[in-house]
Amino acid sequence: MTRPAHHAAQGFRNPHDPTTRTLRDVWRWRRTTTPAPWPAWIEDPPQPVPPRIAAGRIAATFIGHASFLVQIGGRRVLLDPVWSMRASPLAFAGPKRVRAPGQRLEDLPGCDLLLVSHNHYDHLDLPTLRAVRRRWAPPAVTGLDNARHLAKAGIHGARELDWWEHAEVAGLRVTYVPAQHFSARTPWDRNRSLWGGFVIEAPDGGTVYFAADSGWCPHFAEIGRRFPRIDLALIPIGAYAPRFFMQTQHMDPAEAVMAHRAVGAQRSIGMHFGTFAGLTDEPIEEPEAGLAAARAAQDVAPEAFVTLPFGATLEIAAGG
Three-state SS for 88-99 is CCCCCCCCEECC
pLDDT class of 320 with cuts at 50, 70, 90 = low
- Mean pLDDT within 235-255: 96
Query: Residue 176: is its pLDDT beyond 70?
Result: yes
Q: What whole-number distance in Å separates Cα of residue 196 and Cα of residue 185? A: 16
Residue predicted with more confidence, 179 or 2: 179
With a CB cutoff of 8 Å and minimum separation 6, the contacts of 111 are 69, 76, 77, 78, 132, 135, 136, 138
**Is the predicted pLDDT of residue 15 greater than 80, yes or no?**
yes
Q: What is the pTM of this model?
A: 0.97
Residue 69 pLDDT: 98
- pLDDT, position 30: 78
Whether the per-residue pLDDT at 194 is higher than 70: the answer is yes
The contacts of residue 147 (CB under 8 Å, 6+ apart) are 140, 157, 158, 159, 160
Read off the pLDDT band of 1 (50, 70, 90).
low
Angle, nearest 10°, between helix axes 219-226 and 253-263? 30
Q: Strand pairing of 75-79 and 67-72?
A: antiparallel
pLDDT value at position 23?
64
- The percent of residues in the chain predicted with pLDDT above 70, rounded, is 99
Identify which of 229, 168, 176 has the alpha carbon closest to the alpha carbon of residue 199: 176
67 close to 80: Cβ distance less than 8 angstroms: yes
Cα 220 to Cα 240: distance, rounded to the nearest angstrom: 18
On the question of pLDDT at 27 being above 80, the answer is: no
